[in-house]
Amino acid sequence: MRVAISEAQGLLCAEEVTADRALPDFDQAAVDGYAVRSVDVQSAAQESVALPVVGETPAGARQARRLQPAQAVHVEASAPLPTLADAVVPVAYTEEQSGKVVVRQPVPSGAFVRRAGEDVQPGDVAVHRGMPIGPAQLAMLAAIGRSQVLVHPRPRVSIISVGEELVDLNERPGTGQTYDVNSYALAAAAREAGAEVTRVGIVPTDSRRLREVVEGRLLLSEVVVIAGGAGGAAGERVRAALAELGRLEITRVAMHPGSVQGFGRLGPDQVPTFILPSSPVSALVVFEVFVRPLIRFALGKTNPHRRTVTASTLSPISSTKGRRGFLRGQLLRDPDTETFLVQPLGDSESHLLAPLVEANCLIVVDEDITDIPVGEDVPVRFLSQRS
C-alpha cells in the first residue's frame, strides 16, 4: 500500500526508495559566516586578514554570487556557496569593520561547507526495503522529496465475542452472566501486535444476526477473530451460522491451554477467521501462538515470532501428556551468572487470569513431557514487555 509519509511511521518500508537528486543538491554554507577562498585566509594563523565584503547571500537565495580572489561574501546557513568559494569562516572567527571582515583564524578548504551529494547521490538507496519507518527515515523521505512511500500496512483485525452469558462492562452481570473480557483483551493483543483493530464486542449466536455481522466484517478486515464459539453448543451454532460463508473447521489442537479452536477462510476474499475459546487465558494463549504471528507476517516482519530463550526452572512443572504446553511464567535473570531463570505461575489451573497478569513469558513444554524438575532448562517465549 502506498501512503503519505505522514501516515507511514511505525510501518515497514516495502520498497527500495532511491533518490533522484543529490542531497544536498547544491554546495551550501553549513553556518552563518563569510564565504571565502581558503587560500586567502591561510595567513590568519600568524596575523589577522582583512577582506572586503562584496555582498550577502541569504538562505533560500535562488542564485549563488560570484566571488573574486581576496574577497568575502556574508552567507547564512544553508545559503548557496558563492562561485570560487571553498570554505566558510564562522562569525565567531571574525569581526566586521567598515565594509571589511577581519578574519582571526584560518579555515581549510571545505570547512563549514555542505558539498552537493555528500549525504546522498542520485540513484542511492535512501530508505531500504524492510526498514522500520521512524523519524529519521521520515526525514530522509522528506529530504529527497518523497511525499508517499510503499509500506506494509497494518492489517485490519475485527474482534467479536459470542456467548449468551456475556454482558458489556456498562452493565451489571446477573446470575449466570459474566463480563465480556475477550473482546477487550484480544483487541489489546491485536493492537499490541501492530494491527488496526475494530472491537465489535458482543454478538448473539442467533444464526442470522451472527452471519450478518461476520459477513460485514469480512469486507472490512484482513483477519477476523471470534472468541467464545469454539466448543460445545456455542461452537455448533457458530459453525452452522457461518457455513454459508466458507469452510470453517472447529477441532482439537494438541496444545494446552486452548486445545479446542477453529479456523476457516471465509467470504469472497478468503479472510482468515479464527475461532477461540471462551476462557480469556486460553483465548489469549491461542492468539499469541497462532494469530499474532499472522499479524506480524502481514506487517512484513521476516521473523514474526517473539524471542525465545532457554531458562532454568525455579519450581517443578507439570504438563498434560500429548499436548504442547504454553504455560505462564515469570522470567528472571541471575544477577551473578546473567543466566535466565523462570518461575512457573498458576500451577495446572489454566483458566486463572491472575497468574497471567504477573506473567512475562510462556514456558513451552513438548508434547511428550509431563513433569519437569527444578533446575531443568526449558524454552521460554517472551510476552509483551512491561514498561
Among all chains, which residue has been given the C-alpha cell 478486515? 221
Exposed/middle/buried for residue 198 (C-beta within 10 Å: 0-12, 13-18, 19+): middle
User: What CATH architecture applies to the domain 28-114?
Assistant: Beta Complex (2.170)
pLDDT in tens, the chain (387 residues): 999 999 999 999 999 999 999 999 999 999 999 999 999 999 998 999 999 999 999 999 988 889 999 999 999 999 999 999 999 999 999 998 889 999 999 999 999 999 999 999 999 999 999 999 999 999 999 999 999 999 999 999 999 999 888 999 999 989 989 999 999 999 999 999 999 999 999 998 888 999 999 999 999 999 999 999 777 777 888 888 999 999 999 999 999 999 999 999 999 999 999 999 999 999 999 999 999 999 999 999 989 999 999 999 999 999 999 999 999 999 999 998 999 999 999 865 577 888 899 999 999 999 999 999 999 999 999 997 654
What is 2-23+120-152's CATH topology? Molybdopterin biosynthesis moea protein, domain 2 (3.90.105)
Task: Look at the block and give the residue holding cell 521473523.
Answer: 303
Instruction: Select from 239, 255, 240, 238 the least CA-distant residue to 319.
Output: 255
Q: Which residues contact 354 (CB under 8 A, 6 or more apart)?
A: 346
**In whole angstroms, what separates CA 254 from the centre of its chain?**
32
Instruction: Please tell me the CATH code under which domain 156-299 is placed.
Output: 3.40.980.10
The model's pTM is 0.84
**Cα–Cα separations (whole angstroms), residue 277 to 6, 18, 295, 327, 362:** 39, 47, 19, 16, 18
Contacts of 227 (CB under 8 A, 6+ apart): 159, 160, 161, 162, 182, 183, 186, 276, 277, 278, 283
What single letter denotes the amino acid at residue 164? E
Q: Which CATH number fits domain 308-382: 2.40.340.10, 1.10.287.70, 2.102.10.10, 3.30.460.20?
A: 2.40.340.10
List the grid coordinates of 315.
519450581
